[in-house]
Chain A
Amino acid sequence: MTPEIITATYKVNGEERTIAHPGHHTLLEVLREPLSLTGTKHGCELGECGACTVLIDGEPQLACLALAREFEGCDIETVEALETGEGLHPLQATFADLGAAQCGYCTPGILMVSKALLEENPKPGRAEIKEALSGNLCRCTGYIKIVEAVEWAAGMARGDDDAGPADAVFYGQRDGGTDHA
Chain B
Amino acid sequence: MPEPDGLNLIGTPFRRVDGVAKVTGRTMFADDLTFPRMVHMKLVRSSVPHANIVSIDSTAAEAHPGVIHIVRGESMPDPFGILPVSQDEHAIAIDKVRFVGDPVLGVVALSEDAAEAATRLVKVEYEALDTIASVDEALDGTRDEIHDYGDEGNVHKKVSLRFGDVESGFEKADLVLEDTLFYEGNTHLPMEQHAAVAVPEGDGKVTLWSSTQTPHYVHRALTRVLKIPASHIRVIACPNGGGFGGKSDPFNHEIAVTRAALDLGRPVKICLTREEVFYCHRGRHPVTMRIKTGFAKDGAMISQHLQTALDGGSFGSYGVASTYYTGALQTVTYQLPNYHWDGMRAFTNKPPCGPKRGHGTPQPRFALEVQLDKAAHELGLDPADIRLNHLANADSITANWLRIGTIGLRQCIEKVVEGSGWRERYGKLPEGRGLGIACSSYLCGAGLPIYWNHMPHSGVQLKLDRSGGVAVFCGQTEIGQGSDSVLAACVAEVLGIDLQDIRLCVADTDLTPVDLGSYSSRVTLMMGNAAIQAAERAKSLISKAVSKRLEVPVGRLVFAEQRVFDATDPEKGMAFAEAVQAAESEFGTLGTTGSYTAPRSPGRYRGAGVGPSPAYSYSAAVVEVEVDPVTGITRVPKIWVAHDVGRCINPVLVMGQVEGGVYMGLGEAIMEESAFRRLPKKLSNALVHKFPSILEYKSPTFNDMCDVETYIVEDPDPNGPFGAKEVGQGPLLPIMPAVCNAIFDAVGVRIDQIPVQPHMIVQALEEKRRGGAGRYGPKRFPVVPWDEPLQVPTPMEGGDGKAVNAEQVGVHGGTMKETPKGTKS
Q: Which of A47-98 contact B (CB under 8 A)?
A: 48-49, 51, 78-80, 82-83, 88, 91-93, 95-98
- From A46, A88, A129, A146, B24 is in contact (CB under 8 Å) with A88
> B231: CB under 8 A from chain A?
no
Give bound CA distance, A83 to B21, whole Å.
Answer: 11
Contact B663–A142 (Cβ < 8 Å): yes
Pick the residue among B31, B274, B703, B712 that contacts A44 (CB under 8 A).
B274
Contact partner, A103, options B239, B694, B705, B708, Cβ 8 Å: B239
- Chain A residue with Cβ nearest B25: A39
Residues of chain B from 638 to 688 with CB closer than 8 A to chain A in the complex: 648, 651-656, 658-664
Kindly provide the distance from the CB of A38 to the nearest chain B CB, expressed in whole angstroms.
4
- Chain A residues closer than 8 Å to B34, beta-carbon distance: 36
Q: Contacts A104-B21, A172-B710, A172-B712 given: A137-B694 contact, CB under 8 Å?
A: yes
Does B630 touch A at the CB level, under 8 Å? no
Q: Does B524 contact A (CB under 8 A)?
A: no
Name the one of B652, B654, B699 contacting A98, with C-beta atoms under 8 angstroms: B652
Contacts of B242 in A (CB 8 A): 102-103, 105, 139-140
In the bound complex, what is the Cα–Cα distance between A75 and B263 (angstroms)? 44
Please, what's the 1-or-0 string for A154-179, where 1 marks a CB less than 8 Å from any CB in chain B? 00000000000000111111101000
Question: Known contacts being A142-B663, A144-B708, A171-B13, is A101 close to B699, with CB within 8 Å?
Answer: no
Min CB gap B767→A, angstroms = 34
Closest to A144 in B: B659
C-alpha spacing A142/B655, complex, angstroms: 10
Q: Is the CB of A138 within 8 A of B24?
A: no
CB distance from A65 to the nearest CB of B (A): 13
Task: Classify the interface of chain A: helix, strand, loop or mixed.
Answer: loop
Is the CB–CB distance between B699 and A139 below 8 Å?
yes
Q: Is the CB of B655 within 8 A of A171?
A: yes
A125 within 8 A of B: no
Pick the contact of B22: A1, A46, A96, A133 (CB < 8 A). Answer: A96
Given A101-B19, A171-B655, verify A44-B24 contact (CB < 8 Å): no
| Distance A146 CA – B15 CA, assembled complex (angstroms) | 15
A43 touches B13 (CB 8 A): no
Does A134 interact with chain B (Cβ within 8 Å)?
yes
Q: A-B pairs with CB below 8 Å: how many?
A: 215
Within B471-503, the residues touching A (CB, 8 Å) are 479-482
User: When the two chains form their complex, are residues B655 and A78 in contact, meaning their CB atoms are under 8 A apart?
Assistant: no
> Which of A32, A106, A141 counts the most B-chain CB atoms under 10 A from its CB?
A141
| B193 contacts A104, C-beta separation under 8 Å | no
Among B29, B703, B705, the residue within 8 A (CB) of A142 is B705
* Interchain nearest-CB distance for B702 vs A (Å): 4
Complex CA–CA separation, A112 to B242 (angstroms): 20
Separation of A3 and B193 alpha carbons in the complex (Å) = 26
Cβ of B203 under 8 Å from chain A? no
**Is residue A111 contacting chain B, with contact meaning CB distance below 8 A?**
yes
Nearest CB of chain B from residue A54's CB, rounded to whole Å: 11
Q: Is the CB of B1 within 8 A of A103?
A: no
Interface size, chain A (Cβ < 8 Å): 71
Chain B proximity of A107: nearest CB distance (Å): 6
On whether the beta carbons of A95 and B193 are closer than 8 Å, the reply is no
Q: Inside 8 A of A2's CB, which chain B residues have their CB?
A: 65-66
Contact A142–B274 (Cβ < 8 Å): no
* Cβ contact within 8 Å between B418 and A38: no
A43:B191 contact, CB within 8 angstroms: yes
Instruction: Mark B1-17 against chain A: 1 for CB-CB distance below 8 A, else 0.
Output: 10000000000010110
A43 partner, pick from B32, B694, B703, beta carbons under 8 A = B694
Given contacts A96-B16, A96-B19, A102-B480, whether A171 and B712 have CB atoms under 8 Å apart is: yes
Whole-angstrom distance from the CB of B735 to the nearest CB of chain A?
11
Task: Determine how close the nearest CB of chain A comes to the CB of B13; give it in whole angstroms.
Answer: 4
User: What B residues does A106 contact at CB under 8 A?
Assistant: 191
> Which residues A114-145 have CB closer than 8 A to chain B?
129-131, 133-145
Which chain B residues border A111 with CB–CB below 8 Å?
23
Given contacts A103-B479, A173-B710, contact A79 B25 (CB under 8 A): yes
A83 close to B24 (CB less than 8 A):
yes
Judged by a CB distance under 8 angstroms, whether B770 is at the interface is no
Residue B709, interface by CB 8 Å:
yes
Chain B positions within 8 Å of A176 at CB level: 415, 418-419, 711
Which residues of the other chain, A, contact B24 by a CB distance below 8 angstroms?
Answer: 39, 79-80, 82-83, 88, 92
Question: In chain B, residues 244-273, which have Cβ atoms closer than 8 Å to a Cβ of chain A?
Answer: 244, 273
Contact B664 A145 (CB under 8 A): no
Tell me whether B703 and A134 are in contact (CB under 8 A).
yes
* B residues less than 8 Å from A107 (CB atoms): 22-23
Question: Considering the chains assembled together, what is the distance between the CA atoms of A93 and B190 in angstroms?
Answer: 24
User: How far is B794's CA from A75's CA once the two chains are assembled, in angstroms?
Assistant: 71
Residues of A near B26 (CB, < 8 A) are 39
CB-defined contacts of B479 to chain A, threshold 8 Å: 103
CB proximity of B482 to chain A, nearest CB, Å: 7
Query: Interface centre among B19, B482, B702, by most A CB within 10 Å?
Result: B702
Contact A103 B656 (CB under 8 A): no
Query: Are A102 and B482 closer than 8 Å at their CB atoms?
Result: yes
Please name the residue on chain B nearest to A44 by beta carbon. Answer: B274
Q: A169 with B655: in contact, given A137-B191, A137-B701 (CB under 8 Å)?
A: yes
- Shortest Cβ distance from B19 into A: residue: A96
On whether the beta carbons of A174 and B712 are closer than 8 Å, the reply is yes
| Known A-B contacts A40-B25, A96-B16; A102 and B656 likewise in contact (beta carbons under 8 Å) | yes
* 21 A-B residue pairs with CB within 8 Å: A38-B25, A44-B274, A45-B273, A45-B274, A46-B695, A49-B191, A88-B20, A96-B22, A96-B23, A99-B653, A103-B480, A105-B190, A105-B241, A107-B22, A131-B703, A134-B702, A139-B189, A139-B660, A172-B712, A173-B711, A173-B712
Interface residues of A (CB under 8 A from B): 1-3, 22, 32, 36-46, 48-49, 51, 78-80, 82-83, 88, 91-93, 95-108, 111, 129-131, 133-147, 168-174, 176, 180-181
* Top 10 A-B residue pairs of the complex, sorted by shortest distance between their CB atoms: A39-B25, A103-B480, A104-B22, A105-B241, A142-B663, A96-B19, A142-B659, A38-B32, A172-B710, A48-B694
15 new A-B contacts, CB < 8 A, other than A78-B25, A134-B701, are: A39-B25, A45-B274, A104-B18, A104-B21, A105-B241, A107-B22, A137-B694, A139-B242, A140-B480, A142-B656, A142-B659, A142-B705, A145-B656, A170-B13, A172-B710
